[in-house]
Structure formats: structure tokens, C-alpha cells
Amino acid sequence: MARPVAAMSDSASSKLAEPDTPRPAAGVPVEISGVAHVFRRAGMETRALERIDLSVRAGEFVAVVGPSGCGKSTLLKIIAGLLAPAAGQVEIAGRCVAGPHTDLGIVFQSPVLLDWRTILDNVLVQIDLRGGRPAAYRDRARALLAKVGLGEFENRMPRELSGGMRQRTAIVRALIHDPPLLMMDEPFGALDALTREQMRIDLEKLWRERGQTTFFITHGISEAVALADRVIVMTPRPGRIERIIEIDLPRPRHKEVVTSRRFAEYCDEITECFMRHGVIQY
């Protein structure tokens, strides 16, 4: 996991704004044009992605759902600049991604916390890595921790927290510098069903407050529908976009929404896509 942690750092020439400095816009547009990728090893080729074209609006919440091995995580790494595509390009706010893109937040399935630092200091390590002043972000970190139910745990060590609490810490760490782009790679995948649902509710609240452009990868069909403005349905490898589904449901997505008939219809539509490809068989 050393690579993802390093990716949180910023270049020495970048200036990290103080938390009270206003930003001109919450989210940024992302343009993905003809992106494809092939992994080569020991004389063998694996086609991971095949011509991905997608425009993501500034402030939009996009969920990508697909079977294991369809290239979802590969696509996320290409957008973040952690992996160069075999073909095509990605533009963020009109600028071509040619290397690690630093003005973003990333959350992985594993929270990757530092065992020797308190929860508050784990959040502030993001500022350390970016060359900022952690003290200037301490109040913001405490406020974000309180919003996800961790206000009383800022001085605890990671080993003292549950898996869900550690993952909440990772989300706060990704948001502490107020990035315009948030990348999430199955962040709730290792959690139990009840914790996942609460995390989904907490994430929607945080996103509605600030409106970062969010790229959320999941295996969960209902989770994708509950969170997203649009759901991107991927085919089995090599990953292609099978369908883009606009989710016309009110926010916040309370119990009345996620138990509605329309919500179930969206889930059925996605399920049928996977059934056609044999991913789901009854």
C-alpha cells in the first residue's frame, strides 16, 4: 500500500491553502477520452480496459459498478495519474493528466492508518505530506471527525477503533484539504452491512455539504444507486461501459427513497445488465 500513501503527498512547488481560504468551486469536471489499458507480464497480455469515454460534471457523484477484474480500479488509478493508460487520455479541469494528480483525495478499501499516531494526527498527516501547517487544520479536522461520529475519539489510537471507525478516519483524511475531486475505491467493501449503510449516509451528507466531484467504485448495486447521480455499469474484462444510468431520485436518500419502487427499478435495471453477461446467474 506504499504507493497510495505516497500519492497523497503534494509537489514541493504546490501551495496548500489555509482552511479558511475560499475556493472558487467545489468540484471539477473530468473528461475521459478513449482510455484503454493492457497489462503485460511474462510474455502474456491482459486487456483490462477497452475504450472508455466518459464526461463527469463538476460536483457530480458518479458510481462505477462492475464484476471483479473488469478494470474499475485500473480506471481510478489512471484518472488519479497513478497509472499511465495504454491509449487515450484524462483531463481534469481542462488539464491533461500526465502524472500523479495531487489536488484530490483518495480512499481505498483499507484505511491505511499509521498505528503510532492518534486519530486526529492520522487525519493531519495529509497536511504534513503536503507541506502545510497541521495546526492550521486542527479545528477543521475536529469538525469533520465530529460530523462522522468520531468527535470523542480524536485522541484514540487506530487499534482502539472498529473497522468502520477507522474507515471514517480515512475519509476525513481524504477531505481535510478540501479537494475538488474525491476518488473512492470500494471504501466500504470490508465492512458489515449495518456499518456500510451508516457510512453511506455519512458520505452523502459530507458530499452534499461541499459537492466535490466524486468517483466511487463499488460492487454493490444498491449502494451505487443510493449514492450516485449517475451509475456507470461496466462489462466483464476487458472493461467497457455497458450503460450509463441517470439516477433521478431525491436527496437526501433517506429510508423512504431507498425503499421506494423507483429505487428497486434502478437496481433491477443494473442487475439485468449483469445477467445478460452471465455475471449474475439464477
Final residue before a domain boundary, out of 138, 157, 178: 178
Q: Please choose, from the candidates 93, 119, 223, 231, the residue with its C-alpha nearest in 3D space to the C-alpha of residue 171.
A: 119
35 exposure class (CB count in 10 Å sphere: 0-12, 13-18, 19+): buried
Asked if the bond preceding 238 is cis, omega within 30° of 0, the reply is: yes
Final residue before a domain boundary, out of 145, 178, 211: 178
Instruction: Give how many domains the chain has, as a whole number.
Output: 2
Query: Is there a single domain that holds both residue 206 and residue 279?
Result: yes
Cβ neighbours of 17 (radius 10 Å): 12
> In which domain, by residue range, is 165 found?
112-178
For every one of its 282 residues, what pLDDT tens digit does the chain have, with 9 covering 90 and above? 333 333 333 333 345 666 654 444 479 999 999 999 999 888 888 999 999 999 999 999 999 999 988 999 999 999 999 999 999 999 999 999 998 888 899 999 889 899 999 999 999 998 998 888 999 999 999 999 999 999 999 999 999 999 999 999 999 999 999 999 999 999 998 888 898 999 899 999 999 998 999 999 999 999 999 999 999 999 999 999 999 999 999 999 999 999 999 999 999 999 999 999 888 888
pTM: 0.88
Query: Is there a single domain that holds both residue 62 and residue 117?
Result: no
**CATH number, domain at 266?**
3.40.50.300
